[in-house]
Amino acid sequence: MAGHPWVRHGYSAALLALSPLIWRRVWRENLPGRSRAERWGCIATPPTAVRTLWLHCASVGEVQAARPLIEALARRYPDRRLVLTTMTATGAKRAHAIAERLQGEGGVAEVSHHFVPLDFPGAARRFLGRLRPELAIFFETELWPNLLAACERRGVPVAVVNGRVSPRAFRGYRRLGRLMAEALSHVDWLGAKSEVDAERFRALGMVASRIVVTGSLKFDMASDDEAFGESERLHAVFGPRPVWVAGSTHEGENQAVLEAHARLRETYPEALLVLVPRHPQRFEAVAELCRSQGMAAARRSMGETVTADTSVYLGDTMGDLLALYGAADLAFVGGSLVPVGGHNLLEPAAMGVPVLTGPELANFTDVAEALRECEALVEVIDAVTLATELERLFGDAVERERLAAAGRAVVEANRGALAHTLEGLERLLQAK
């Protein structure tokens, strides 16, 4: 499909004009011992004979959602090197954890991580020239025009997996119509989460014959024995008191969660809230918010002990959300009381925990609908209704068990996207 390279040149000029702001934003996204030159495509060049698969995920949530695919690729292609890239440092830490676990098991491909280069033409060319991937895989909506064009110039087939376009993103992309059409012209295969997402990609200029509706990879969550083990340990620490988790909460949402908890404690004074902010830069602010509300908080990052007087256990570490979900009786998934679009409702469901959410679910409409159809989702609109539902469910063990079983059943019934995705990627590799 013919693109509009002149539009991409305009985009590159705009990036150059904004480069001081862009660099300031990404400067903080680094890890100790890692060179920021990776942002300009300066990575170590592997031996010429090494065949490489490249998978790019934006941040920690996408890395976690891609984990089944990462594990499947590492095991299916042990003769290839699997390189993961992320934009954020939190995503990098999660990628490193998955890589270390896989390589500790043995019998899999070499798995490593780099920061993705900024989408300047020179950085994209340098990165692709050094990495020399056999296949480039972009997760969800990570569509970087210059990186995609550089892949085509080097003859690297491009796949988009778990492809989704939220209503909000679709409106924004439509305003960049020709640029999006140019970017999508370099995509050889796209596995869409749903028919709605597929239609949106078609409307943005993706060739219809290159799109396959695979379903959501989030349903193919791998079991995590380590998370289950930590959940059991935390169960013993927390004791028999009512415990609920508010996971992946955002600024403006933490206050509502704490208000709901205060209301809940009027009926269940021994109730414990496990509060897990989405972004690490908010950990200190949320700890201070707990103190200002008069709630005794124990911080996970500091190894502080949960006692009978503890009202809030602050999950201020990365990569532990699954274990924290599994340690609770109920789970509220954040990003849903503020206009963020929600977060992964399937994580607590897969851990056998009833799921509560707010109304802002634009990023997870398909998952929410699947849970609704099986009456496995409790929806609230504010702190008051959240407290009301928590109180109701803590008083009804039978309903909690029904919700937990229904959620697990939804996860099991919708598996299959991973197999469809691997088939599509295999065809691209065979066609090279």
Question: What SS3 string covers 336-369?
Answer: CCCCCCCCCCHHHHHCCCCEEECCCCHHHHHHHH
Whether 368 contacts 407, CB under 8 Å: no
d(CA 214, CA 156): 22
- Start-to-end CA distance of the chain, whole Å, equals 18
Is position 62 annotated as part of the catalytic site?
yes
Question: In whole angstroms, what is the distance from residue 237 CA to residue 307 CA?
Answer: 9
3-state secondary structure 73-84: HHHHCCCCEEEE
**3-state secondary structure at position 115:** strand
| Residue in the structure block whose two tokens are 């998370």 | 227
Task: Check 62, 134, 142, 253 and give the catalytic one.
Answer: 62
Q: Determine how β-strand 297-299 pairs with β-strand 110-115.
A: unpaired
Name every residue whose Cβ is closer than 8 Å to that of residue 237 and which is 6 or more positions away in sequence. 306
- Alpha-carbon distance of 77 to 100, in angstroms, equals 17
- The answer to whether 289 touches 255, Cβ cutoff 8 Å, is yes
Catalytic residue set: 62
